[in-house]
Amino acid sequence: MAQIHLEVVTPSGAVVSEGVDIVTAPGVGGEFGVLANHAPFLSTIKTGTLTFKKDKTIKYLMVSGGFAEVSSNKITFLVESAEFGQDIDVNRAMRAKERAERRLVQAQQATERVNRIRAEAALQRAMARLKVAEMTRH
């Protein structure tokens, strides 16, 4: 099967750089899949799960905030963080989730818009981490 080269780049270095069969990513306008020889394409990415398949093995990656670029049979993700399920500290993500939920309640009462947005983003990241960790285990 024809492959597309996947690259996931974060500020602390490249996380993935290999040929894969299919990539599924959480775009802002909804989830999208990319196969080999896709047309040039640029989309922003929201916090969520990036899935890619290579030789029948499926891998999950938690990504947050960034964009993806497809050109000349190569897909590059520029994201602020990218973590494989096995590298995720579940306890820490749990704590982050609880903290974000508490903040969200507080922010709602005080109607602080900015704090609410931040807490929501933190909550999304924590939930995405937990989800990826969960999926990797199974």
Which of 5, 22, 24, 32 binds another protein (CB under 8 A)? It is 32
Instruction: Name the minimum Å distance from CB 124 to another protein.
Output: 14
Beta bridge partners of 5: 19, 74
Binding mask 53-72 for another protein (x = CB under 8 A): ------------xxx-x-x-
In the bound state with another protein, the residue whose beta carbon lies nearer, of 121 and 130, is: 121
Q: Considering only 9-17, 53-61, 84-92, 130-138, which stretch makes contact with another protein by CB under 8 A?
A: 9-17
Between residue 83 and residue 122, which ones bind another protein under the rule CB under 8 A?
114, 118
Q: Considering only 4-12, 48-56, 86-94, 97-105, which stretch makes contact with another protein by CB under 8 A?
A: 4-12
28: phi > 0 → left, psi -120 to 50 → alpha, else beta; which? alpha
Amino acid at 29: G
Instruction: Name the minimum Å distance from CB 134 to another protein.
Output: 22
Number of neighbouring beta carbons within 10 Å of residue 79: 22
DSSP assignment of 75-96, as one string? EEEEEEEEEEGGG--HHHHHHH
Q: Please give the structure tokens belonging to residue 55.
A: 């030789």
* Helices 113-137 and 90-110, packing angle to 10 deg: 160
Contact positions vs another protein (CB under 8 A)? 9-14, 27-29, 32, 39-44, 65-67, 69, 71, 76, 78, 80-81, 114, 118
